[in-house]
Amino acid sequence: MFNKEEVKTETLEEFFSGLKSIKTAKDHIFDYIDSSVTFFEDYLKEKELPHIYPKCYEYEIEGSNGGAHLPEILKYITQDKGIKLQPEWYAASFIQRAHELREWIEKGDIFEAVQCALHLEKDRSDFNLSNLEPKILAGKSRVSEASKMKMKTATKNQSLAKPIFNSFIEKDFSKSRAALHTAKRLKKDHGINVPKSTILDWRGKKLI
């Protein structure tokens, strides 16, 4: 039986220390979080829905919906009122999970950090940024100029899972095996497929 502790062999700080570009890797992750949160917060303000995130977060804390994540909570709330807000609920979900990712990184929980990063990427995909971001970045929106500039930088390299996985598995073969176990667990428990190209053993051969 897979044990989550198998992939918590070291803290994020420790396995990042094995990278030549440790500062770049960590800065990339935190810059991504900060710029994306700003972007989505501006988006919700533009839609005059800044209340969506705090209200749903409070709703989740109360446990009224069985601890479900924000997409499910928002669906429940909006559908109950006959309102369709699909892009908005993924924007709110991203804000919550971005804050969660920062917490997991600070706590040094590798498994939860990777899992949260992959959920964030799915939120971005579900938000359909390919259609919405170009319009916002082109200026056809009231989203702040500062947010647009940050988002332009963030969208050049959007993957959070890749730097986390790469820094984790570049240490040695045992770490890459743990990364493989993590990937299998994510797929089994959450239906999340980790790109095969991100999971390599120390010889550079694909493990899956």
pLDDT tens digits along 125-148? 655 543 444 444 444 445 455 555
Predicted local distance difference test score (pLDDT) of residue 12: 38
- DSSP state letters, 15-74: HHTTSTTHHHHHHHHHHHHHHHHHHHHHHHHHTT-TTHHHHHHHHHHTTTTTT--HHHHH
Looking at residue 159, its amino acid is S
**In terms of Cα–Cα distance, which of 55, 45, 110, 102 is closest to 77?**
55
Instruction: Please give the model's pTM, rounded to 2 decimal places.
Output: 0.43
Q: Do the Cβ atoms of 102 and 88 come closer than 8 Å? A: no
Predicted local distance difference test score (pLDDT) of residue 145: 55
Section 187-199 average pLDDT: 55
pLDDT digits (tens, 9 = 90+) for 46-86: 666 555 555 444 444 444 334 444 555 555 555 555 555 55
Please give the structure tokens belonging to residue 165. Answer: 């996985």
Q: Do the Cβ atoms of 194 and 118 come closer than 8 Å? A: yes
Q: How far apart are CA 91 and CA 108, in angstroms?
A: 26
Q: Do the Cβ atoms of 59 and 65 come closer than 8 Å? A: yes
CB neighbour list of residue 159: distance below 8 Å, 6 or more residues apart: 121
Residue with tokens 């993924």: 90
